[in-house]
Amino acid sequence: MPKDFISVADWSADDLLRMLERAQQLRRLHRADKRPQTLQGRTLAMYFEKPSLRTHVTFEAGMAQLGGHAVLLRPEQVGIGTRETPRDVALNLSRWVDGIMARTFSHDLVCELAKHATIPIINGLTDLLHPCQAMADLQTIAGVMNPRQATLAYVGDGNNVAHSLILLAAVLGMRIRVATPASHRPDLGVMSQAEDLGAESGAEIFWTDDPLAAVKGVDFIYTDTWTSMGQEDEAEQRREIFARYQVNQGLIEHAPDARLMHCLPAHRGEEITGELLDGPRSLVYEQAENRLHSQKAVLEAVMLTSSAP
C-alpha cells in the first residue's frame, strides 16, 4: 500500500473498500462505546494553515480514541518557508512522531513533505484535493446504498472537494455527474487522470454546465460553498456566477428520491437553501460524523502499515 494518503487516486479500489469496511466497523464500535487501542503510543503531528472545525476535532479525537496522541502545529510556530524548509520539517518530524496530517493551501507543499518524510503524510485538505472528505462521503453513501450502484451529482464550484469525489468515482467505478459554470470547471489534470482510471474501472464521469441535466434521476446531490478559504475577495462575483447552481426545491424536483450532501461549512441561502440543508433528505451531519470514523480507518491504514517490521 502507499506510504501516504494524499489522493484517493493513489490507492486501489480494494484498498479504499477495505478502509470503508473498517470505517463502518469503527462507527459501530464507537456507538457501542468500544474504543480499540490500535494506535496506542503513537503520535500524529497536525499542521494547519487553514481554519478547521471538522478536520481538527476528528483527527485529534480519532487519535485519542485509538489510544494515540495528536500534537497541534500552527504555521507561525513552525515557519515553513521562513524558519524551516519543508524538507527539514519533514526530516525532523520523522524522528519524533509517527505521522503527519497537513491542511494547507498549496498541494505541492503536502507532496514535498511526503517526498522527504519517512513517516506517513495525510492530506487534510489542499487547494487541489480533499481526500479525507471523500472517504467520509463514501461511508455516508454506503450507509444508504451500494456506492458502486449509486449515481452522484455534484453541483457548484469545480473545487478540491469536487476533484476528490471525481477521483473516488474513477477508482471505484462509480457514476458521477459534475455541473459547474464553464469558467469554474474541475482541473483538467484531475479530469484527465479520472478518465484514465475510469477507463479501467468502468466509471461514468461527465461534466456539464447544466445543473438540471446533472441531477435528473440521481441518488445523491452534492454541493459545496461557492467561496472557499482564500477567495473571500471574489465572494460577490461568485454569487452572481453560481446563482443558477443553487440546490433548491426547483432543482431537486428533477431528482425526487435524491439525498442531499454538503461537506460544510455551509452558507444557507447561497449554494443550498436552509430548508433543504436542515431537512429530512439531508445527510450533512452523517457526513460530518463519518469524518471521525473514516479518518480513523485512514490513520490505521497508514500508521500501522508504516510501523510493521
User: 149: number of CA atoms within 13 Å, CB side?
Assistant: 5
Residue of 224, 259, 293, 295 marked active site: 224
CATH 3.40.50.1370 boundaries in the chain: 8-130+291-303, 145-282
Residue of 22, 42, 54, 130 marked active site: 130
Is 54 a catalytic site residue? Answer: no
pLDDT (average), residues 156-170? 98
Task: Give the neighbor-by-neighbor strand order of the sheet with 99-103.
Answer: 69-73, 43-48, 99-103, 121-125
Read off the pLDDT of residues 25-66 as tens digits, 9 standing for 90 and up.
Answer: 999 999 999 999 999 999 999 999 999 999 999 999 999 999
- State the chain's mean pLDDT as an integer: 96
Is 263 a catalytic site residue? Answer: yes
Statement: residue 309 has pLDDT above 70: no
Is 133 a catalytic site residue? Answer: yes
Angstrom distances, CA of residue 77 to CA of 81, 153, 302:
12, 40, 26
Measured in residues, the chain has a length of 309
C-alpha cell at 210: 447544466
Q: What CATH number belongs to 8-130+291-303?
A: 3.40.50.1370
Share of the chain above pLDDT 90, in %: 95
Q: What CATH number belongs to 145-282?
A: 3.40.50.1370
Rounded to a whole number of angstroms, the distance between the first and last alpha carbons of the chain is: 14
Predicted structure pTM score: 0.96
Is 196 a catalytic site residue? Answer: no
Confidence of residue 234 (pLDDT cuts 50, 70, 90): confident
Report pLDDT for 85. Answer: 98
- Which is it for the CA torsion 49, 51, 53, 54, positive or negative? negative
Confidence of residue 164 (pLDDT cuts 50, 70, 90): very high
